[in-house]
Amino acid sequence: MTTPRHADPGQPTSHSADADGPGRHVVGNTTAAAPTAAGSHDGPLTHRQIVTILVGLMMGMFLAALDQTIVATSIRTIADDLHGLDQQAWATTAYLITATIVTPLYGKLGDIYGRKKLFIFAISIFVVGSALSSFATSMYGLAAFRAVQGLGAGGLMSLALAIIGDIVPPRERAKYQGYFLAVFGTSSVAGPVIGGFFAGASSILGVTGWRWVFLVNVPIGIAALVVVSRTLHLRHQRLDHRIDWAGAFLLSAALVPLLIILEQGRTWGWSSGRAWTAYVISAVAAVAFIWQEMRMKDEAILPLQMFRIKTVGVASVASVIIGVAMFGGLASLPLYLQIVKGASPTEAGLQLIPLVGGIMAGSISSGQIIARTGRYRVFPILGSGLLVLGLFAFHFIQYDTPLWQTMIVMVFFGMGLGFNFQPLTLAVQNAVPPQQIGVATSTATTTRQLGGTIGTAIFLSILFSTVPGRIADSFKALAPTADFQTGVAAGLKAPAGSVDHQVASAIQQAASSGATPAASSGVLSDSSFLAHLDPRLAKPFLIGFSDSMDLVFLVGSIVMVFGFLVMLMLPQVELRGGSAYSERNQQARAGAGEPEAPAPVG
């Protein structure tokens, strides 16, 4: 007996392989592995079995979640120390681009070799990349090591979500959501505190403080490997796939030149010869990538046929747009808190707790309602609307806006994200056959990371391209004021070599020559001097950064409007009552002509 599925019109109802391997059975057009593990249940897993598996998954997810919160709040300190604040996009996008490219590969390889093996491999690579990142001596070096880290990170979340999709029915998934929210909640609170402690320390055991931001992943990763090896016991059902290595290469070739020009365009010139070379390479690679994906069909790194399912297509396009807006906002907020509001890395992390609280509130409420009603469509739509309003509200925040007002906006922005995270992944997993859970989950994760990669590069490029001009405008506006002139006079009287004296001297020289103070562009390499600068002299810098961030949030809100419109097309599909794990087992037994096994009690 094959469990019926509810699907979108045009949804494929089978998964075909090029060849049937040994010990495999064909059910209609569906290739499924026969039961192989002695003593394994073919029915749904018990609550105890699921919780045992979740322990291993949560360790891997904790590793990835902790890394994000630690790095986000310490990147400004790291960039200042490596003299590359305006190059920090590389450290983020290098990580995201490798994670984006390998995420769908993990989905395919997990189907072939088993998700547990790949999960252990992902943790191991992540630990190696973390250790290497602690040895970085420049922002470009850090970006290279973060790229290695991303090779592991791409599997941590996608494999964990795929395993959840395997073992837990969509209607019951919210029941276990509290475990994962505990992981994200713990990492969201502990990450900023730990990262701030490390970033704020000049040296710990003879090692520069911020380097421990990456080194701390090593013992945590080793502990995760031990826990995963002992608790993550899954019976693997091999599904034969061809690996789309050419697709992965072409996707890289399309993204990397685009990110390079987004980063270097303000230096090279957006219409320079090098810029046009990057445009052409990216465009040609993108066309070749689409051709390759059409040629590979179901085996593509991003199966285009899967996007014909309306739920998958709409959710994927929306995920790209949400990724652009989300990562753009998340990259700018810590900078606003640290540069403009003068918060330390630890303080900035704690000040982001309202954002985390909003995410958790949105995730919990949407999960519980979906579990009771089976209806998920309203939450991504409502969440997208909140993201539009949140980003637009951030646009009005100035350098002197009270922090409590910013935190209120953070809550609603976080709820918008919380309403989208689980429901969109749930919708995609529910819309595809059980055999395609791994590929579908990795596709959902990939599209969001793809948007994040592009969004981070674009928004940080906008920020650092406009900051010098905005600071110069602030200097011109404030120069005639008595308060600013008093600050300059006080700075000139300060001890030679002090920050106040250096900046005041630069302002005086620029005023006599009619030029812009060199510090307005030098702040892009190292902004740490602002913390020690007379507030009267620092004001133009703070206003300039704030105004540029306002532009970033305004652009983000405009982009998110399109995401909201796309989300309105998301269909409502009835959620399956059985897990993909049990459905595949039932199909395998049906193909073998065996009676259906009863579901275990409890």
DSSP per-residue codes, 111-128: HHH-HHHHHHHHHHHHHH
How far apart (Å, rounded) are the C-alpha atoms in residues 73 and 83? 17
- For 380-408, the pLDDT digits (tens) are 999 999 999 999 999 998 888 999 999 99
Give the phi and the psi of residue 424 in degrees, each rounded to 5: -70, -45
Query: Would you say 251 and 87 are in contact if contact means Cβ atoms under 8 Å apart?
Result: no
pLDDT of residue 122: 92
Handedness of CA 302, 303, 305, 307 (dihedral sign): negative
For residue 140, the Cα-to-chain-centroid distance in whole angstroms is 20
pLDDT above 60 for 42:
no
- Mean pLDDT within 465-489: 86
Higher per-residue confidence, 62 vs 2: 62
pLDDT above 80 for 280:
yes
- Mean pLDDT within 300-318: 83
pLDDT above 50 for 14:
no
Query: How large is the greatest C-alpha to C-alpha distance in the chain, in angstroms?
Result: 92
pLDDT of residue 392: 93
Give 587's pLDDT tier (boundaries 50, 70, 90).
Answer: low
pLDDT of residue 522: 56
Percent of the chain surpassing pLDDT 70? 79
Higher per-residue confidence, 368 vs 581: 368
pLDDT above 70 for 22:
no
Give 19's pLDDT tier (boundaries 50, 70, 90).
Answer: very low
Q: What spatial distance separates the first Cα and last Cα of the chain, rounded to whole Å?
A: 23
Give 516's pLDDT tier (boundaries 50, 70, 90).
Answer: low
pLDDT above 50 for 376:
yes
Which residues of the chain does CATH 1.20.1250.20 include?
Answer: 47-244+301-469+548-586
DSSP 289-337: HHHHHHHHGGGSSS-GGGGGSHHHHHHHHHHHHHHHHHHHHHHHHHHII
Lowest mean pLDDT among 113-122, 272-281, 313-322, 502-511: 502-511
Percent of the chain surpassing pLDDT 90? 13
pLDDT of residue 288: 94
How far apart (Å, rounded) are the C-alpha atoms in residues 345 and 75? 9
Alpha helices in 494-579 (DSSP H): 499-513, 519-522, 535-567
Alpha carbon distances (Å) from 331 to 91, 108, 136, 298, 525 = 12, 31, 21, 35, 17
- For 187-212, the pLDDT digits (tens) are 766 777 787 778 777 788 888 888 98
pLDDT of residue 1: 40
Give 588's pLDDT tier (boundaries 50, 70, 90).
Answer: low
pLDDT of residue 148: 93
pLDDT above 70 for 324:
yes
Give 453's pLDDT tier (boundaries 50, 70, 90).
Answer: confident
The per-residue pLDDT of the chain, averaged, comes to: 77
Give 311's pLDDT tier (boundaries 50, 70, 90).
Answer: confident
pLDDT of residue 41: 44
pLDDT of residue 391: 92
CATH architecture for segment(s) 47-244+301-469+548-586: Up-down Bundle (1.20)
- Mean pLDDT within 586-593: 55
